Amino acid sequence: MTTTAQAERPAVRKSPPGAARGPRRRTGRIHRVGLPYLLLLPALLLELLVHLVPMVIGIVMSFKELTQFYIRDWGAAPWSALDNYKVSVDFDAPVGEALLHSFLVTVAFTLLSVGLCWLTGTAAAVFMQDTFRGRGLLRALFLVPYALPVYAAVITWVFMFQHDNGLVNHVLHDQLGLTDKPSFWLIGDNSFVALLTVSVWKGWPFAFLIVMAGLQNIPRELYEAAALDGAGVWQQIRRITLPSLRPVNQVLVLVLFLWTFNDFNTPFVLFGRTAPEAADLISVHIYQASFVTWNFGTGSAMSVLLLLFLLLVTGGHLVLTSRGRRSAS
């Protein structure tokens, strides 16, 4: 995203050739300068309507005491100043403590999930770089989890994770005998593992797709030259593939991070309205705080805090990566 912005900047500065002086010419200039903005206006308004207005309303809501008594007429809800935020970040009290716990679970989950997605996706893409019989078929097969509708895919996992008749317990317990007794995957502590499994299964094909596209841009000559110089496969990957993939990886990791951190569908379909504590992701937690307990003010405050955190991470990421790029060039 930054690259396009930087690329466009010089174009804007360019002044129209033959800038005019007289009054007649000036109106002409206003026309010429004004027209692009006029044509941009619908897009701008749509952007406002679709993006900014709901966000602003959400932020306004976070300063109100918007409970079931007021949802019918938002205007009547009393202003609560920073009360919703105070409740959310008071980590000694139950609500704040639960939010912090949920936040930490989400961070751990996101780091693991993004790491595993990236590792699996990159490994698969590197292995699939050479042509061999059935490569197209395998590529298509790998993309299936990404192409499936989320609900259908995750509900299948729910069936597989079931305690009594699930496939996972059948294989792990009945056939391999790895566990003493069938485990619970959808309740209790194992739910974290279940959630991570589904998330990685669902997310790695995207990493695979992007890295595969990135690999196409690395000139073959580099590998040939390296091979002539006696570099092994591992060295080729370390010295050529990974450095060349750097720009791709930077965007990929950021996007995966944001998606995973905000993922609502996977935990909601897996666990329903009330997630087990070990897998209490923040998006579901906020949903529960607002919809299940009907306190939309606190829910909004938590959402705003989440937004701030993600802005911070994204901003930090952009600063770091752009600095790295500048020093490299």
- Identify the residue among 53, 57, 171, 233 touching other proteins (CB under 8 A): 53
Rounded Cα gap, residues 18 and 16, in angstroms: 6
Copy the structure tokens of residue 290: 């607002």
Q: Is 98 in the site for other proteins (CB under 8 A)?
A: yes
Q: What is the DSSP letter of 164?
A: T
- Identify the residue among 56, 93, 167, 312 touching other proteins (CB under 8 A): 93
What is the contact mask toward other proteins in residues 271 to 310, using x (rule: CB under 8 A)? -xxx-xx----------x--xxxxx---------------
Which residue lies nearer to other proteins by CB, 98 or 172? 98
Which residue lies nearer to other proteins by CB, 32 or 135? 32
Q: Is 310 exposed, middle or buried (0-12, 13-18, 19+ CB in 10 A)?
A: middle
Site for other proteins in 72-91 (CB under 8 A): 72-74
Q: Which residues contact 276 (CB under 8 A, 6 or more apart)?
A: 186, 187, 188, 189, 191
Answer whether 111's CB lies under 8 Å from 198's CB. no
Q: Is 16 in the site for other proteins (CB under 8 A)?
A: no
Q: How far is the CB of 283 from other proteins (least distance, A)?
A: 16
Nearest alpha-carbon partner for 298 in 72, 107, 77: 77
Q: Is 71 in the site for other proteins (CB under 8 A)?
A: yes
Which residue lies nearer to other proteins by CB, 98 or 226? 98
Q: How far is the CB of 182 from other proteins (least distance, A)?
A: 8
CB atoms within 10 A of CB 49: 10
Answer whether 84's CB lies under 8 Å from 62's CB. yes
Q: How many residues bind other proteins (CB under 8 A)?
A: 39
Site for other proteins in 196-215 (CB under 8 A): none
Chain-centroid distance, C-alpha 91: 26
Rounded Cα gap, residues 72 and 59, in angstroms: 19
- Identify the residue among 45, 111, 242, 320 touching other proteins (CB under 8 A): 45
Which chain residues interact with other proteins by CB under 8 A? 35, 38-39, 41-42, 45-46, 49, 53, 67-69, 71-74, 93-95, 98, 162-164, 182, 184, 186-188, 272-274, 276-277, 288, 291-295
